[in-house]
Amino acid sequence: MPIPHVRGPISAGLFRLLAGSPGDDPAAQAALQDLAAARLPDIEDVIEDGDVQLTLFCLYELHYGGLDGVTDRWEWNPGLIALRQLLEEPFERTLRDAALPYEGPAQLDSAQPDSAAGLDSDAVADILFGLAAQDGGPGMSRHVAKKATLKQLREFLIHKSIYQLKEADPHTWAIPRLHGRAKAALVEIQADEYGGGRPDRMHSTLFARTMRGLGLDDRYGAYADAVPPVSLASVNVMSLFGLNRRLRGAVAGHLAIYEMTSSRPNQLYGNGFRRLGFGADVTAYFDEHVEADAVHEQIAGRDLAGGLVESEPELFPDVLFGATAVMAIDDRLTLHIMGAWDDGESSLRAAVPAAV
């Protein structure tokens, strides 16, 4: 993806480094680490901090599709890994704080150390479905279905594009970290996400088609400059979980809740686009998710998350963390978008050309 515009001193320092090669300027690299360490304590909420979220987003991107003009040799550079860990620490801490209130009754289960040992896969699925059911409800999806303007539908797609154009990739990192039933479950879900062998059915490909149908740029990261920090955070949380083996329980919980809160909203999203006259080329992405995620939620809840907890009971609290982190971040994103729309404003940072 193209390198985005800087959002503060940390991202500025990173992009200056990335213009060169690893080892070119050790002093600058050390200075960047110091700068980040000095700034972090002053940042009130790293989830809402554009500089931190953009820096993390670009550091993670080195492990995905890469950044235009940046050598792939940076990917495992120890200094950049150290910077990532420095930023991940307060990010994870803030996420845990934000996610905790969403645990509700499930918290009781994880609070007792012995309780997870007795949980079988059906019980884990039950707890996760219970969490998903108390999800605030389809506030945004109802608005998209009934009221959203064309401009708002475009904004909606732009927010989603940061993840959906590489849909499924972050969870794929977890495959080699799992085994047995949980691994088979994740592979089964991911195979479906990637089109079951048909490139044209890949969910990211379907989403790109939806974007083109509304005259949007479908290249990955084309709108990275346009989205607020919380949109970047919603993708960074998946990369954080996926790229840290110790958080494999959180990946399972994340995917399970993601799937469990998807079918109905996607039905409503599809209705919104149909309401404004868009056809199957645009709505195929949403229609596919109504059906696919009704399958995936069963597999993700019982076989992936449940299977994982059966074999590694000590991971149950992280399964809950992953699940509730999605809910917390999604609520913030919805609040941001709906808040802007209620005020008759754009939910994006910068005006986006109406068409490519």
Rg (CA), the chain: 20
Taking the least distance from each CB to another protein, the nearer of 67 and 284 is 284
Cβ at position 180, least distance to another protein in Å: 6
Which residues from 142-201 bind another protein, rule CB under 8 A? 180-181, 184, 188, 191-192, 196, 201
Residue 336 C-beta-side C-alpha neighbours within 13 Å: 22
Which tokens belong to 2? 């193209």
Residue span binding another protein (CB under 8 A) among the ranges 25-33, 54-62, 122-130, 229-237: 122-130
Q: State how far the Cα of 84 lies from the Cα of 91, in Å rounded to an integer.
A: 10
Residue 164 C-beta-side C-alpha neighbours within 13 Å: 20
Q: Rule CB under 8 A: is residue 330 a binding residue for another protein?
A: no
Where is 28: in which H helix or E strand? helix 26-39
Which residues from 264-293 bind another protein, rule CB under 8 A? 264, 267, 288, 290-293
Taking Cα atoms as reference points, which of 103, 6, 8, 5 lies closest to residue 46?
Answer: 8
Which residues from 53-92 bind another protein, rule CB under 8 A? none
Q: Rule CB under 8 A: is residue 327 a binding residue for another protein?
A: no
Taking the least distance from each CB to another protein, the nearer of 47 and 284 is 284
Which residues from 3-32 bind another protein, rule CB under 8 A? none
Query: DSSP letter string over 252-277?
Result: HHHHHHHHHTTHHHHHHHHHHHHHTT
Q: Directed axis angle between helix 26-39 and helix 78-99, to 10°?
A: 10
70, 87, 125, 255: residue in contact with another protein (rule CB under 8 A): 125
Residue span binding another protein (CB under 8 A) among the ranges 56-64, 169-177, 307-315, 318-326: 307-315
Overall size of the chain counted in residues: 356
Q: Rule CB under 8 A: is residue 318 a binding residue for another protein?
A: no
Extended beta strands in the chain, E state: none
Cβ at position 149, least distance to another protein in Å: 26
Q: Say if residues 297 and 262 touch (Cβ distance below 8 Å).
A: yes
Taking the least distance from each CB to another protein, the nearer of 89 and 291 is 291
Q: State how far the Cα of 293 lies from the Cα of 291, in Å rounded to an integer.
A: 6
Footprint of another protein (CB under 8 A): 120-122, 125-126, 129, 132-133, 180-181, 184, 188, 191-192, 196, 201, 262-264, 267, 288, 290-295, 297-299, 302-303, 307, 310-311
